[in-house]
A and B are shown apart, each in its own frame.
Chain A
């Protein structure tokens, strides 16, 4: 059953020929929730962008659902295969209404309003509002709601709880967990609240300055807070103070 949905083998990836992430080996199997954590500038966003075709693979191979990545011109194919990527800037369209934003994610353009509302009840009352007018958190909920509606085979969420109220953050991971369990989708999430992410995730990858410093069961990292904090403080964190 455990089909390999995403597979990085010894990958260097970056922009303009310069590697931001080095030597990354990472995989996500069907039905798994995998957390990708690390300090600012570690290369988490770059990793996700690589899968979507917007960062360059400089070395190694990336396979999505067993297929190699298409050329940049055909990057939209990745979306068609069932990969749903919620980018750091959320990727919602300010000029469209909430409902129209949701419709873009569904195959036949028909929105299953009830299902969207079951994830985020507030969305229901916002359906006809222009997405640009939403509050930051509401925009994040819209982006996540759209992702869940699209029934992805691989869901990647960058900075999942960015701008969300604590009470929502708590509910979020269980929702994603449930989706992975029910549909057998693979999930890769980037999250600043490491504790929250590690509670629900099966496995975790810890990136720092583009290097993988940990990979293994989430529980290991959960129990070893010392190591996690050291990564953020010692190895990471250097970003702002670096010249």
Chain B
């Protein structure tokens, strides 16, 4: 158990980093691990090669095939330990400052979800910078902390584990004291709650936020530098450790440094304990459980601690973009559908594929429109639910031999069933806590269901084959020959099938928004208390929304499986769920049209196909995408759909006579 102390200290350190950023700005900083990684790489280059990489890239002009430029500064063959640490930390601090100035300050009035999405964007960018700049190879880093072996509790452990633990404890204590007793700390908490009110008291919310970003990033940098000698340095390691760190932060309710740190250490220990037990006890399930278990336990703990309705005077931070009802007439809609059908038939094959991928993506985004856009509950489990249906359709149709239509329906029903289970925590938790608990559900589904051979009939390769859709004897498979057009895959038949399913889904969500049920959902999103007092059964509304959303996700998952003909768990993992949220937000998370815009942004979706035709970023793909994400977000903080509406309104104003401006009151 003592062996887990090192891992525990790392998780704890990242956990308090997460709490720090959350308390100072309400952002779940997914990028904390990436900042740590980047700093660690800077340190390692300084030590081993004496070079300081000039961010951001090996050669910014490489994209355009331009001349190569010097991309690093040399300081002899190697830099001594102390200056190297100082430089790496300074880099981390600089990243913090830049994040504040370039990303989070412009987003200061954006919905909180927008800021979270921005943090994910930062993570993507940093991650790809690391890969491009330093390569994927693991590096060994010379120890900084003393490594003399120490005997404790019957095990021999290098001393650095304990030093690390000590450092984490000290940092935790300091942060706790600062946030509880200093004017700076109190004002930081106050600013996270209401920026305008702290300004009235003479605090510069801007300066405050900047300081906290620098602080948080420096802390992350320090973690990176100190732990990589223990863990070895790979581009992904620390980024992935964010997930257990999120669990630790969650147990502290994203507000307690002490609990988060304690939970982190506990995590590491429990994991090593489980590992040992697995070696001794053969009947214990394999490694997967080790990853999932603590997370599930924490989720349960949070649910027990939660309340059916928020307590009096709970701080509300749940503003989301406006959920406009669609103004499109049914006739216009039919015309639109016919246009897309035509596109699915007559476009070249790569565009046809783009259309299909985009539409399936749009259905996935619609599922988030329902839970997040309408009811205000952030779900990071939608991809996992889609996965359930994807595997379900294979089992029902391929293995059990049911007719396709029945199999499809059953797969969706299975997704709804799981969706309702995933929804249970939402009855007692909300906000950031709920978001991370749904992430835990996704992790659980991934490890406990997808990654086990035998279940769902997944073969040893972790793949599963899926038959083409067949309705009334007609086949609509991606490779079923269609009478019109060329013979390249995908054939238009499948495209048409997808268009029709998507159209049905859009109609359902549009009808939902216009219906009384939809209004009740928005009432819950606005104010759970007041909704309950008006006679709304908040639980039923939430469960209904999660159910509908799971159905949509399920439909999309099944379609995706059919499209590829064979399916593997990788595409439904936790990261896929996270990126789904990013894309859906970017398109517009509260409207049907937003979901359609978002769908076109999917990887391999329509937009990618178009850009691929004209540009080729090659290895820079992810990096460029991440940057594009950030730039888009900073320019349109409420998503593209809100922006389109704005532009539309401005155009209308040009053409018509000016209307008197609407009176808008500052929200209390």
Contact = CB atoms under 8 A, between A and B. Distances in A.
A–B contact (CB under 8 angstroms): yes
A94 interface: yes
Interface in A65-96: 73-80, 84-85, 87, 89, 91-96
Given A84-B200, A96-B190, A104-B186, 8 more contacts: A15-B664, A52-B200, A89-B668, A91-B201, A92-B197, A104-B190, A105-B201, A150-B201
A104 B315 contact: no
Contacts of A54: 196
B186 A76 contact: no
Contacts of B201: 79, 84, 91, 104-105, 150
Nearest to A91: B197
Given A91-B200, A104-B186, A109-B183, A76 B205 contact: yes
Interface string B157-194: 00000000000000000000000001100110110111
Given A91-B194, A95-B315, A79 B183 contact: no
A87 B314 CA distance: 20
B483 interface: no
Interface in B184-243: 186-187, 189-190, 192-194, 196-206
B656 interface: no
B187 A94 contact: no
Nearest to A110: B183
Contacts of B199: 52-53, 75-76, 79
Nearest to A85: B200
B668 A104 contact: no
B203 A76 contact: yes
Contacts of A79: 199-203
B189 A18 contact: no
A-B CB proximity, top 3 nearest = A132-B313, A79-B202, A91-B197
A132 B314 contact: yes
Nearest to A74: B204
Contacts of A93: 189-190, 193-194, 197
A94 B193 contact: yes
Quick one: which of B189, B190, B201, B205 has the most chain A CB within 10 A?
A: B201
B151 interface: no
A73 B200 CA distance: 12
B280 interface: no
A5 interface: no
Contacts of B305: none
A16 interface: yes
28 contacts: A73-B206, A75-B199, A76-B199, A77-B202, A79-B202, A84-B200, A84-B201, A85-B200, A87-B197, A91-B194, A91-B197, A93-B189, A93-B190, A93-B197, A94-B193, A94-B313, A95-B190, A95-B193, A96-B193, A103-B186, A108-B183, A109-B183, A109-B186, A131-B313, A132-B311, A132-B312, A133-B313, A134-B313
A79 B198 CA distance: 9
Contacts of A130: 313
Nearest to A15: B664
B189 A96 contact: yes
A131 B204 CA distance: 22
Interface of A: 15-16, 18, 52-54, 73-80, 84-85, 87, 89, 91-96, 100, 103-105, 108-109, 130-134, 150
B661 interface: yes
A15 B663 CA distance: 9
Nearest to B206: A73
A104 B313 contact: no
Contacts of B200: 52, 79, 84-85, 87, 91
A73 B106 CA distance: 12
Contacts, number: 85
B313 A100 contact: no
Interface in B384-441: none
Contacts of B666: 89
Q: Which of A18, A54, A76, A133 has the most chain B CB atoms inside 10 A of its CB?
A: A76
Contacts of B186: 96, 100, 103-104, 109
A133 B312 contact: yes
A76 B311 CA distance: 32
A23 B269 CA distance: 70
A98 to B, nearest CB: 12
B187 A104 contact: yes
Nearest to B312: A133
B101 to A, nearest CB: 13
B524 to A, nearest CB: 20
A204 to B, nearest CB: 24
Interface in B351-409: none
A53 to B, nearest CB: 8
Nearest to B667: A89
A104 B183 contact: yes
A92 B198 CA distance: 9
A145 to B, nearest CB: 14
A95 B312 contact: no
Contacts of A103: 183, 186
Give the most central of B183, B196, B200, B203: most A CB within 10 Å: B200
A79 B315 CA distance: 24
Find the residue from A89, A93, A100, A108 having the highest chain B CB count within 10 A.
A93
A77 B201 CA distance: 9
A115 B666 CA distance: 33
Contacts of B203: 76, 79, 104
A56 to B, nearest CB: 13
Contacts of A95: 189-190, 192-193, 315
A18 B313 contact: no
A150 B190 CA distance: 17
